[in-house]
């Protein structure tokens, strides 16, 4: 199991579009991914579950990955949660 911490960097937090990007990237992952913060926890199978964590800029999240290629998966999740998303792309 890999555990990482990330701080939300996006100025608008993790709203619908970033949530969709994150969930879509890991849809085929055969292991388990758990995201948690002060508002609760969820697996990474649903945009709605991810939105329920109310992740605003500067909030901290804990990422737990168990399964194949844990290190790369956990590192990529940290990268995504710390991305400054720009929608629509320029």
Per-residue pLDDT band at 79 (split at 50, 70, 90): very high
Strands (E), the chain: 2-7, 32-37, 40-43, 60-66
Confidence of residue 89 (pLDDT cuts 50, 70, 90): low
Q: So what's the pLDDT on residue 87? A: 65
pLDDT of residue 86: 75
Closest CA to 35 of 10, 60, 11, 67: 60
Please, what's the b/e burial string for 21-41 (b: 16 or more CB within 10 A of its CB; e: otherwise)? Answer: ebbeebeeeeeebebebeeee
* Entry pTM: 0.91
Given a cut of 60, whether residue 21 has pLDDT beyond it is yes
Strand order, beta sheet including 2-7: 2-7, 60-66, 32-37, 40-43
Q: What is the mean pLDDT of residues 50-69?
A: 96
């Amino acid at each position: 199991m890999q555990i990482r911490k990330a701080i939300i960097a996006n100025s608008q937090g993790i709203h619908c579009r970033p949530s969709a990007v994150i969930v879509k990237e890991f849809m085929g992952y055969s292991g388990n991914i758990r995201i948690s913060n002060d508002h609760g926890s969820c697996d990474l199978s649903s945009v709605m579950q991810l939105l329920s964590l109310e992740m605003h800029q500067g909030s901290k999240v804990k990422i737990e990955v168990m399964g194949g290629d844990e290190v790369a998966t956990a590192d990529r999740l940290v990268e995504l949660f710390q991305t400054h998303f720009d929608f629509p792309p320029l």
